[in-house]
Each structure stands twice: as structure tokens, then as C-alpha cells.
Chain A
Amino acid sequence: MRRFLILVGAWLAAVPASAQDCTPVPHRYLAWGAPGERIVWGETVPLGQVWELESGGAATTDNRVLEYMAQHFVPPGWFVPHATSGYHSNSPTSVTGSTPVIAFQRGTILSAGEALGVRVNSTPDFATMAVLYKVFVYPEACLARLKGVAALVSAGAPSPPDFTALLQAAQIAATALTGLAASVP
């Protein structure tokens, strides 16, 4: 009886671990580049995660008319154009120190090893700019759910169930029962 309870306990403990938790976990990031730095990157998505962009972009303290470009870094080393390049000018009276200049595309899904960044076409006397965003973090296995497709897509026929272990167990149990029956006087 005690062994049975231990088995049931072990099974119950194993169930939550095998279930995939796709609860969105919010994550926020803000990083200013150094003065004169004309390419600023966000974080690289860690292995085993997918990120869904909720909102984000770049802010600047430079008040000149400049071209800002958002880019999506995709391994092995591509800088995929991400947002429409735009021109920006802070009027001298409205420089607040963190004017938004370009937005990342909302809903973008970033895979492990990818990152979002912004570059600006400017002379080296550029002031500073920041990359900031809010993403939702999920385990990599949630990608199918994020994309709204079935998680399990099989190319061929599904493999038949394997009853070998069950057959073996049944044979052992049957032998034991037969032995038990033989021992009954």
C-alpha cells in the first residue's frame, strides 16, 4: 500500500513538470548608448526562449534631423530591416532628453540568438540614443501556440503505440498469478 502511494505521489509530481506553461512573462529593457554611439542593440534572446514584442523602439537626445533605422539581428549575422526608416528633428524648445524616434514592429516574435537594434546616420558628434522595449517571454515550445498553429505537425503517419512494456508487465503478472494459484492448497 505504501509503495502504491509513493508511486501515485511520484506520478502527481511529474505531471506539472511535463505540462508546458505558456503564461506570458513581461520583461522590460532600457539601455542608453554611449555619446557618439550610432548603433545600439537590445538584448540577445537567450536559448530556450521566444519573445513577443509588445512595444518598443528608440529614443534620442540629439535634436538634429537624422535618419534612424531599426534592425532585427538574425543569426548567423544578418541585419534584417525591421521598421521604416524615419527622419527626426527635435525642436530646440522641446528637447526632453528622451524623445521617441522610431518604433519596433509590435507583435514581432524573436527567436533565440536574435536581437533588435537601432542605428542612426550621423556624424561622430551624435549625442546619445536608447533602445527600449517591453516583451513577453515564453518557453521556446510555446512558439507554435504564439503563431496559432498546432503544436504537433507530423510529416508522415503517426507511429503506432508501443505495447511492448505492457505486454511484458502483463506476462510477468500472469506468471505470478499462475504461481500464486499453484501455491493455493
Chain B
Amino acid sequence: MSHHQSLKVLLVCVSRALEMIAHGLADYAKTL
């Protein structure tokens, strides 16, 4: 796997993680 591909995977992972954290926080806020 080239460096570029690794970077690509990392960026996509960070992007998905951000989305998941944000949605998780929004759901948590609804339960308060």
C-alpha cells in the first residue's frame, strides 16, 4: 500500500469518525 493510499484511508476514517462522534453527541443531547 502506497503512502498516498494510506493517507486516503486515514482521511476517510477520520471523516467517518467525526461524523459518528457528532451524531452520537446529538443523540446523547436528546436523551438529556
User: Interface range on chain A: under 10, 10 to 19, 20 to 34, or 35 or more?
Assistant: 10 to 19
Question: Given the complex of chains A and B, what is the CA–CA distance between A160 and B14 in angstroms?
Answer: 27
| Contact among B4, B7, B14, B25 with A167 in the assembled complex (CB-CB below 8 Å) | B25
Interface bits B1-17 vs A (CB < 8 Å: 1, else 0): 00011011101101110
Chain B residues contacting A173 (CB-CB under 8 Å) are 15, 18
Task: Please determine whether A170 and B32 come into contact, CB atoms closer than 8 angstroms.
Answer: no
Interface: A19 (CB within 8 A) = no
Interface: A76 (CB within 8 A) = no
Among residues of B, the one whose C-beta sits closest to the C-beta of A180 is B11
Task: Please determine whether B11 and A170 come into contact, CB atoms closer than 8 angstroms.
Answer: no
Question: Given the complex of chains A and B, what is the CA–CA distance between A173 and B19 in angstroms?
Answer: 9
Contact (A184, B8) CB under 8 Å given A170-B18, A174-B18, A178-B15: yes
Task: Please determine whether A181 and B29 come into contact, CB atoms closer than 8 angstroms.
Answer: no
Task: Please determine whether A177 and B7 come into contact, CB atoms closer than 8 angstroms.
Answer: no
Residues of B within 8 A of A (CB): 4-5, 7-9, 11-12, 14-16, 18-19, 21-23, 25-26, 28-30, 32
16 examples of A-B residue contacts, CB within 8 angstroms:
A161-B29, A163-B22, A166-B22, A169-B22, A170-B19, A170-B21, A170-B22, A171-B19, A173-B18, A177-B14, A177-B15, A177-B18, A178-B11, A181-B15, A184-B5, A184-B7
